[in-house]
Structure 1
Amino acid sequence: MKKKLGFLAFLLAMSMVVLAACGNDDSASDKSGDSDGEQITLEFWTMQLQPTFTDYINGIIEDFEAENPNIKIDWLDVPAADLDKKILSAVSTDTAPDVVNLNPTFASQLAELDALVNMEEAVSEDDKALYVKGAWEANQIGDVTFAIPWYLSTSVTLNNKQIFEEAGLDPEKPATTYEEAAEYAKIIKDETGKYGYFPSLDLSLVLQHMVMMGAELTNEDGTEAAFNTPEGLYAFEYFTDLYNEGLIPREALTGDQRATIDMYQAGQVAFFDGSQFIVQVKENAPEIYENTLPSEAITGKSGKKTMSVQNVVVPKQTKNQEAAVKFALFLTNGENQLEFSKLTPILPSNVESLADPYFTEADDDAEPTDLVRIVSASQLESAELLVPPMNNYTELRQAMYDAISAAMLGEMTPQEALDKAEAEWNEILAQ
């Protein structure tokens, strides 16, 4: 409790700094930008991109500085585990960088304090139209858009064709719904003794599964839990039944996503949501990789598919808002995002990049990595950030995980566990 109060006090201090900065009479002139040709230095922070992408980011910086000789970019790469604390500290001491790479969940906490530039006001309509709609909307709270989307991913199912064939199933007809996943899991277990489906429940995945199954997490204004419904109960019963019938590994509940990839690479699991691991499979288990067929993500009643988003934000403390937004737009333009996507298995948020054949066409000899990219890109229209930014997100996520764990382990009925989660969410949301 003391830790939580300390964090709230820290956020309050941040808000006071932000308000003080907003009240500065010189702020408008300080943020006028770079139109007068005055020499400007922008501080740019990224999240754990060095050393893999050092040349790429330096290349973007060189190109931008060549086009804008009066603007210099000072790049700092921060370990992912340290970034949240570091940006909080910088904002609270009025030393925030000009452009920062953040995820929507954490960025939204700064946005709630009015600490970030509203991109609805700072970005032109023409530039807004260049971004995938779902990615742009992932960064919205009310009428405020607190970030520009950078790179994306959507979930893709990896299927081991050999196990499908051993079970008498057609790998060209993989599971696309939760009901089919459960059906295939039983057939594969009965016919091969292996696990068919490995639905990880790590981190936010319980919440994502529930949304795809048709449950609403909260009411419209985010003040009360809204998942204690037939759809929410279905989610709890679905995973409890699979677990108790031995149709999914114990690690689905007790492990993390590393356990999923380990079992898939060992040939013990037929299919799982694992597009982000495809390069790892290629490196560690080449035979499994050759037998892998990517397919569309498994979804439920809602028809939704999950989208992960990485963004760039501009703190309001910047004295060079126009230049900072200009650099954020340059970083995320079509050409630069296409180049980035060819270096690592990500998707661009820029629609000009997505129009490239690299994301739409597969050769006859296309590898699983190529198919993951194309399937992933094809899902963007139906994909969205399934778990929106929420206050006290970590507590909410943990409460849901604890509740579904209680159901799956037989400590409560699914309905009792759902009731417990609802009560805890309402208490947390009321804070």
Structure 2
Amino acid sequence: MKKKSLISLLLIIAMLVMSACGNSDDSSAKDGEKKESGGSEEATIEFWTMQLKPTFTDYIEGVIADFEKENPNIKVKWLDVPAADLSQKILTAVSSDSAPDVVNLNPTFASQLADLDALVNMDEAVAEEDQKKYVQGAWEANQINGTTFAIPWYLSTEVSLNNKAIYEEAGLDPEKDIPVTYEDAKKVAKTVKEETGKYGYFPSLDLSLVLQHMVKMGADLTNEDGTKAAFNTDAGLKAFEYFTELYQDDLIPREALTGDQRSTIDMYQAGQVATFMGSQFISQIKENAPDIYENTLPSTGITGESGKKTISVQNIVVPEQTESKEAAVKFALFLTNAENQLEFSKLTPILPSAVEALEDPYFTEAGEDAEPVDLVRIQSAAQLDESELLIKPMDNYDELRQAMYDAISEAMLGNMSPQEALDQAEAAWNEILSK
């Protein structure tokens, strides 16, 4: 599809949601205020984040104040947008030629804008020496067709949380029997269920997690050029069979299929699950279930034959429409520098994408009085070098993800054999990829 027709489609989509989103006073306020920000000329740039107020208001406002002090010719206007509204709001802004100058987006959605040439090429806008200041896997997570469309901001890797008390109740050694692979997890699930009636393992299949499980188990999702499905293989079948067996034998909760990721934390906090991958919830566990928290032992993320581990990335993009590209990129680099990222990481359980920040003892040394939250942080940081974005940006991603989920659901519910379900997924993917 040509660029012009894609832009037209984007405009139609945005017009359909315009009435729901409304016109932002913050967006229109910048009209006429922005100027080319070369040299010492003044510029006002608009910065959008995703649901950071009020928790991180002081931090973001502090970063902006520091930036404006160093760059008195540049003013930053900050707008925080609810996560559920951001996609529609940015679509509306781009299609009406009123895009903000700097935006916090995830790679999946940002890649859709990049595919429309709607984002600044960071390979060209950011000096090579500055590019090397970021974790390589995080920088590469923001690439499509060989072009980098964003600067990585904060990260996370997948760490397992394990309830030592349940392991001990099941006669298992929490220091030795915590699972590292999917096969380990199946063994733990069987033992815990037989000995305690609880669930030893809770693998969520929400959102992109089915795809991530399959990649970790060794399946390629598409061929090299992304035009055909490539997962109808022994590895793909093994993944479908694995989850079908666990589900039908009641070795994982029903919510693994029917619930969202909140279900995992709820059951873990209730003391009904021995192991799940949800380290992002460690602070909530500390607050809501202190007894469970005290018994929590973090461990490496579970993987399969591929040995792959996943990284999640939040990034910063600069829309191509900006009239203050130099100022916008300068602010994006300032926001994501090592000093600011280190400060941000100490406010919430995330990892910085700046290599220098990761060298701080905060991410490498546990200390004698280390709590589970400290151990999660150190384990997560230790995995960065071997973690990658498992699900690369793809066109029609939501359709592809849903088609895979629908197919594996049919197998797990017993409506199809795993092979029949895999065949269904392959046919659906090939149809979607041919668009």
Q: Is the 8 A contact 1:34 1:40 kept in 2?
A: no
Counterpart selection for 1:276 from 280, 286, 292:
280
Q: Using the TM superposition, give the Cα deviation of residue 31 of structure 1 relative to its aligned residue in structure 2, in angstroms.
A: 8.5
Within the candidate set 169, 173, 179, 1:170 is matched to: 173
Deviation at residue 408 of structure 1 after TM alignment: 0.5
Give the 3 Å change call, closer, same or farther, for CA 402–410 of structure 1 in structure 2.
Answer: same
* Number of the residue aligned with 1:221: 225
Q: CA RMSD in A?
A: 1.6
- 2: CA distance between counterparts of 1:347 and 1:314? 22
* Correspondence for 2:414: 410
For residue 102 of structure 2, the aligned residue among 96, 99, 106 is: 99
1:63 matched residue in structure 2: 66
Whole-Å Cα distance in 2 between the matches of residues 91 and 146 of structure 1? 15
Flag the 1:303–1:290 CA change in 2: closer, same or farther, 3 A. Answer: same
For residues 297-329 of structure 1, the C-alpha deviation after alignment (integer angstroms, 9 at most, x for no partner) is 000011111111000000111111111111000
- Which among 37, 51, 55 is matched to residue 54 of structure 2? 51
Q: Which residue of 2 aligns with 1:423?
A: 427
1:250 correspondence with 2:254 = yes
Question: Contact (CA 8 Å) 2:51, 2:83: kept in 1 or not?
Answer: yes
Counterparts of 1:12-411 in structure 2, within 5 Å, are 33-35=37-39, 37-173=40-176, 174-411=178-415
Task: Give how far 1:8 is off.
Answer: 8.2
Deviation at 1:11, TM superposition (A): 1.7
Cα 1:366–1:322 shift into 2, 3 Å: same
Partner of 2:9: 10
2: CA distance, partners of 1:224 / 1:183: 35
Q: Structure 2: how far apart are the matches of 1:72 and 1:8?
A: 30
What is the rounded CA distance, in whole Å, between the counterparts of 1:404 and 1:172 in structure 2?
Answer: 33
Deviation, structure 1 residue 33: 3.2
Question: How far is the alpha carbon of 1:259 from its aligned partner?
Answer: 1.4
Aligned length: 411
1:26 aligned residue: none
In 1, the alpha carbon distance for the partners of 2:13 and 2:47 equals 20
Distance 1:240 1:364 in 2: 43
Residue 14 of structure 1 deviates from its aligned partner by 9.3
Contact 2:7 2:116 in 1 (8 A): no
Alpha-carbon distance, 1:38 to partner:
1.3
CA contact (8 A) 2:35 2:44 kept: no
Deviates more, 1:376-385 or 1:330-339: 376-385
- CA distance in structure 2 between the partners assigned to 1:270 and 1:40 by the alignment: 54
Query: How far is 1:230 from its partner?
Result: 0.6
Task: Indicate if the aligned counterparts of 2:151 and 2:317 stay in contact, CA closer than 8 A.
Answer: yes
- The whole-number CA distance in structure 2 between the counterparts of 1:171 and 1:111 is 45
Kindly indicate whether the alpha-carbon contact (under 8 Å) linking 2:6 and 2:116 is maintained by their aligned counterparts in 1.
no
Give, in whole Å, the separation in 1 of the partners of 2:238 and 2:85. Answer: 38
The corresponding residue for 2:25 is none
Gaps of 5+ in 2: 15-33
How far apart are residue 280 of structure 1 and its match? Answer: 1.0
Structure 2 counterpart SS, 1:311: strand
Alpha-carbon distance change, 107 to 31 in structure 1, aligned in 2, over 3 angstroms:
farther
Q: What TM-score does the superposition give when structure 1 sets the normalisation length?
A: 0.93
**CA distances 1:368-398 after superposition (whole Å, capped 9, x unpaired):** 0000000000010111111111111111111
Q: Following the alignment from structure 2 to structure 1, what is the Cα–Cα distance between the partners of residues 346 and 267?
A: 28
What residue number does 2:21 align with? none
Q: CA deviation at 1:9?
A: 4.6
**Matched position secondary structure for 2:53:** coil
Is the CA contact (8 Å cut-off) linking 2:11 and 2:95 kept in structure 1?
A: no
Instruction: Find the aligned partners of 2:125 and 2:7 in 1 and give their Cα distance.
Output: 29
Q: Report the secondary structure of 1:95's partner residue.
A: coil
Q: Aligned partners of 1:32, 1:52: CA distance in 2, in Å? A: 33
Off by >2 Å, runs of 4+ in structure 1 = 6-10, 12-15, 30-34
| Contact persistence 1:14–1:91 (CA under 8 A) | no
Compute the TM-score of the two structures, normalised by the length of structure 2.
Answer: 0.92
Label 1:64 to 1:235 Cα distance change in 2 as closer, same or farther (>3 A): same
1:129 and 1:8 map into 2 onto residues whose CA distance is: 33
Residue 43 of structure 1 contacts residue 76 of structure 1 at CA under 8 Å; is this kept in 2? Answer: yes
Distance 2:54 2:79 in 1: 12
- 3-state secondary structure, aligned to 1:387: coil
For residues 200 and 179 of structure 1, the distance between their equivalents in structure 2, rounded to whole angstroms, comes to 16
C-alpha distance in 2 between matches for 1:322 and 1:32: 8
